[in-house]
Structure 1
Amino acid sequence: MIVAARERWLGTILLVILMAITIVPFISLFITALHPQRTYPPGLTWPETAHWENFAIAFQSARMLELLWSSVLIELAVVPVAILIATLAGFALGHLRPAGGRVVFIVFLLGLTLPLEGIIVPLYYQIRDMGLLNTRWALILPLIGLFMPFAVVWMRAHFVNMPTELSEAARVDGATTWQLFWRIHVPLSTPAISSLAILLFLWTWNQFLLAVVLVSDPTQRTMAGALGAFQGQWGTDIPLLCAGSLLILTPTLIVFLVFQRQFVSALLQGSLKG
């Protein structure tokens, strides 16, 4: 009994420490954003007068509406296509298990080991030769390809644990492979698909390196990528820079807080099956 209580208290203390490590940087950004412009706030000190107008100035200066629209367009082009391809590939590799599927799966696993920094130079020249530099397609197409290794492995891990009895019963009733996939396995895969969609949304929204290298027009980038241009313009104005950073981070925090139950549910489902 004493040991269980000690472990419970230890777990609570560790959670509080981790929560503090996560929250303190956001608190620091928020407090700094409320200081007068072109000042250097000394640590976590609340200003005498909170300058809430810094958020409005940052919103207008960074052209947030245009950046928001650009990010939404990129998200709508990347996430649904990546989810569809990954779900189809995961179903084939994890449930249908075709000849040569193990080799294909190993190729996707190798794709997980490739660092983005190692392929950014050849990717730049390839996008340039395709005539797509400085367009949203320069972000959309590479992101779909770069997400495939993780997305396919994620969905395969789900489908490989699906009971074969469901497919056998559907086959007896005359279901085709497409009907088997769309009417039976996809509805049962909602937690895995929704959690993958959340991850891809966050990764696309926060994409910085590709946006800076492949797109020179800030209004064609993601919001995180446009932070580079905003930093170049307001890099010496720390409060305004912090206000802009919080505005860019807010949508991702909202999405995660709204869908955190689905995300945790999918992770727990995968751990129980594995």
Structure 2
Amino acid sequence: MTSVVPTAALPAATIAGTAPTGRSKRKGGIGTTVVMTLVALLWISPLVLLVVTAFRPLADFVSHGPLSWPATFTWKNFADAWDIGNFATTYRNSALLLIMKVPVGVFISAMLAYALAKLRIRFGAAIMYTVFLGLTIPIYITIVPVFVMARSLGITDNLLGLVGPYLAFGIPFEVLVLQSFFRQLPDEIIEAAKIDGAGPWRIFLTIVLPLSAPALVTVLILDAVATWNEFLFALILLNSDAHKTIPVGLLNFQGQFSNNSTGLAAGILIAVVPILIAYTFLQRWIVGGLTAGASKG
């Protein structure tokens, strides 16, 4: 018969050797906190330097260097940058491009991902690998073919000319995320809807899409950020100032602000403010959507 030794009868050294003390736990926690804090400060330091430079006078920047704390702050850099960067026009163009491209891209990706994940289609595996092959194609090797096709269609220097290339390079990643999420949806729900007489479109629109809201919001946000920041195709296909997007509009600072670092910093900050706001308030959706289909549960 096995006897149980009370804890009070055990030597203090035995107890101390088998269980970590509260002091060691606190030391480990403090050390991890310090390391993570230093990493976070290092990671955010470029943004802090950008913000400080954008608010400091040019004379102070030239006199004391970029790493010094300014004696005064000014809003004049932003007023000058807004005019020279033509942000009133570029913001409108980037917003219109988001409205035209992002919802269409997410909806097409959702349909394709649902078909690959839940429907029995011929050559489904071949179609899936072909779509994912688009993730391996560098954007740079498609510049000439895309420009030739856009010019033959007469859609250069037009925001509509960017929708096709943006869809082609955005859909593979969105399908990758969504089909992984759709595979985790219970088949019993879809089968029950079929028994009740629901067709494929009704199941997709009224059951699959509402249940997939976290993944849909994630790809929507990531696609919007990628579209807002895209530079290469916009530079190649857009010529006139009336059709330029924000990344291309930043080229207006070249020459005018060649020596005005504070004005250039203000222009960059104006351009990235929507992205910073989006990531700040929607990061929970981004992380949740990317990890929702990672495991079964």
Change (3 A) 1:220 1:6: farther
Quick check: 134-143 or 110-119, which moved more? 134-143
Which secondary structure does the structure 2 equivalent of 1:82 belong to?
Answer: helix
Match of 1:77 in 2: 100
Deviation, structure 1 residue 5: 5.5
Deviation, structure 1 residue 226: 1.5
| Sequence identity (%) | 32
Note if 1:15 corresponds to 2:36.
yes
Quick check: 215-224 or 85-94, which moved more? 215-224
CA RMSD, Structure 1 to Structure 2 (Å): 2.0
What TM-score, normalized to structure 1?
0.92
Deviation, structure 1 residue 11: 4.5
Separation in 2, partners of 1:74, 1:29: 27
Match of 1:131 in 2: 154
Quick check: 19-28 or 237-246, which moved more? 19-28
Q: Is contact 1:31-1:45 (8 Å) kept?
A: no
What TM-score, normalized to structure 2?
0.86
Match of 1:246 among 263, 269, 273: 269
Match of 2:46 in 1: 25
Match of 1:160 among 167, 183, 207: 183
Separation in 1, partners of 2:213, 2:107: 13
Quick check: 4-13 or 120-129, which moved more? 4-13
Separation in 2, partners of 1:190, 1:46: 45
Deviation, structure 1 residue 6: 6.2
Q: Which amino acid aligns with 2:70?
A: P
Separation in 2, partners of 1:6, 1:232: 54
Match of 2:296 in 1: 273
Deviation string for 1:155-180 (max 9, x for gaps)? 11111221111111111111111111
Separation in 2, partners of 1:265, 1:99: 32
Q: Is contact 1:90-1:156 (8 Å) kept?
A: yes
Q: Is contact 2:90-2:245 (8 Å) kept?
A: yes
Quick check: 1-10 or 210-219, which moved more? 1-10
Match of 2:124 in 1: 101
Match of 1:149 among 149, 167, 172: 172
Quick check: 33-42 or 189-198, which moved more? 33-42
Deviation, structure 1 residue 143: 0.5
Which secondary structure does the structure 1 equivalent of 2:155 belong to?
Answer: coil
Q: Is contact 1:206-1:225 (8 Å) kept?
A: no
Which secondary structure does the structure 1 equivalent of 2:294 belong to?
Answer: helix
- How many aligned residue pairs are there? 274
Which secondary structure does the structure 2 equivalent of 1:273 belong to?
Answer: coil
Q: Is contact 1:95-1:162 (8 Å) kept?
A: no
Change (3 A) 1:118 1:230: same
Q: Is contact 2:84-2:252 (8 Å) kept?
A: no
Q: Is contact 1:32-1:44 (8 Å) kept?
A: no
Pairing of 1:1-274 with structure 2 (within 5 A):
1=20, 8-9=29-30, 11-37=32-58, 40=62, 42-273=65-296
Deviation string for 1:208-232 (max 9, x for gaps)? 1111121122441321221123334
Deviation string for 1:50-90 (max 9, x for gaps)? 12211111112212111111111000011000011001001
Unaligned 5+ segments in structure 1 are none
- Structure (1 or 2) with the larger CA radius of gyration: 2
